[in-house]
Amino acid sequence: MTAVDPVDLTARLIRCPSVTPDEAGALTLLADLLSEAGFECTRVDRNGTANLFARWGAKGANKSLGFNGHTDVVPPGNAADWRFDPFSATEAEGKLWGRGACDMKSGVAAFVAAAVDHVRKTPPDGALVLTITGDEEGDATDGTVALLDWMAETGETISHCIVGEPTCPTVMGEMIKNGRRGSMNAKIVARGVQGHAAYPHRAKNPVSALVRLLDHLARFSLDDGNANFDPSTLALTSIDTGNPATNVIPAQSTAALNIRFNDLHTGESLSQWLHAEADKVAKETGVAFDLKIKVSGESFVTNPGWFTDLVSDAVEVETGRRPVLSTSGGTSDARFVKSICPVVEVGLVGSSMHQVDEHVEIAHIQQLNAIYARIIAAYFDDA
């Protein structure tokens, strides 16, 4: 089989309008290509979400290097606002333009091309495993999670994993992610007693009580960070009463917040803290609070060692820069993969992801493909 051009593969993937949760042919394209190269491919679809598992080498091999990524993309918005059609994969000015060009069809194309190129060199007791989902930009409940559930049921394993998300703020090779903060969302509903604004003593004002609670939460310092993580943050994201009347104290008011937390906390400990603070204000005001909390992922860190060194060495050789190990930014599917093996993220410059006129430098796709190829070779002692 001839080598796969990662730029051409990126373009072909962009032309699949795989707005989450639609597969739109992207995983079918990859499954056909990988099957032709000798990978054993299995579709692991769940609840209408398409996922692909592909392995070359022995099941349960002593050395199994995994790559994880996604082919689903966020909606393009108004196509008229784009310089080029968002699903045309237009090449111009040394860049490839289109929805998913940066996040993260180029990353998937780069590691698929590197894997296909290397399969004939992998040692007999080694395996390359690719897990590619169509649910990263959605609820993330039936994508990588479904793949990991299926792997546990069937005895498939990964020893170490690379997630191909964009990781560089501005310059190729400047950063890899060896961990991520946890993330949780909370919706708070304050329930009081409606009344006339001229007689506030006859009502229980949920707005006042909610503002008191939110002010305390927003002012509170969760921690000062540590060697691996920046300080945890709490951001108020919504306050809504929906009261059109100026002379009525409403019966209910709601708010939402997001917490990004380091490993000094867990989703459970922060949930307990939120409930305790709400209980304090409830006792002070007589207003009841209902909290709905969803933990999107716990914090994690892959400690520096031979694996992070191996990845950093490959990045440095191909870019001339030694990447910084970072746990900054949002969440990714690495938060799920970390439950089965050490994981790091290494990818492109992410400055245009989710934006109108999303694009990627064509040279960067080729560079990332070379980084992944070097990682694979070094992992199997074949550099």
Q: Give me the active site residues, please.
A: 72, 136
CA distances in angstroms from 314 to 40, 253, 362, 366, 371, listed in the order given: 27, 53, 19, 14, 6
The two three-digit tokens of residue 365, written as one number: 């796709």
Helix, strand, coil tally for the chain in percent (to 5):
35, 25, 40
CA distances in angstroms from 150 to 52, 143, 144, listed in the order given: 11, 11, 10
| DSSP assigned state of 3 | P
Task: List residues bridging with 234 in a β-sheet.
Answer: 259
Helix (H, G, I), strand (E, B) or coil at 129: strand
Q: What contacts 239, CB < 8 A, 6 or more positions away?
A: 210, 211, 214, 253, 254, 255
Kindly report whether the peptide bond that precedes residue 172 is cis, defined as omega within 30 degrees of 0. Answer: no
Residue 200 contacts residue 215 (beta carbons within 8 Å): no
Residue 75 contacts residue 19 (beta carbons within 8 Å): yes
